[in-house]
Structure 1
């Protein structure tokens, strides 16, 4: 890209940013039209999150991971034991 193209592009961006009237985005127009007839309910600044489902304890997750590692080690050891040299 030449330096003249950069200058022209910068000018175009400044011209666009300095526009007196800026058209709202499509999403803003859609929400304005929807909210005109059916405004959203007010919500507190930090709404309460949805209740979380019960999760496994960290010990259970650790036991599952370690169990998988031990199983892989045993399978690899058995395969090496069975392989002829």
Structure 2
């Protein structure tokens, strides 16, 4: 690209960024049209307290499963490395 093309491109970007009216993205237009007739309900920032008691146990179970898989992969790789070819 020549220097003149770079200057023209920079001018076009400055011109586009300086526009008074910016069109919303396609997703923003789609959500605005959908929410016009059926607005979304409020979403709480934190989960309900009744869900936290059961999720505490499941997080430990998933942690144990992940660590167990990591140990199994390490043992498998050690077995493959020690096995004669």
TM range (shorter): 0.5 to 0.7
Q: Return 5+ residue gaps in structure 2 as ranges.
A: none
Count of residues in Structure 1 that have an aligned counterpart in Structure 2: 74
* Runs of 4+ with >2 A deviation: 50-54, 60-63
The CA RMSD over aligned residues, in Å, is 2.5
CA distance in 2, matches of 1:32, 1:73: 58
Query: Higher helix fraction: Structure 1 or Structure 2?
Result: 2
In the aligned structure 1, how far is the partner of 2:24 from the partner of 2:3? 32
Per the normalisation by structure 1, the TM-score is 0.67
- The aligned counterpart of 1:5 is 5
Q: TM-score, normalised by structure 2?
A: 0.67
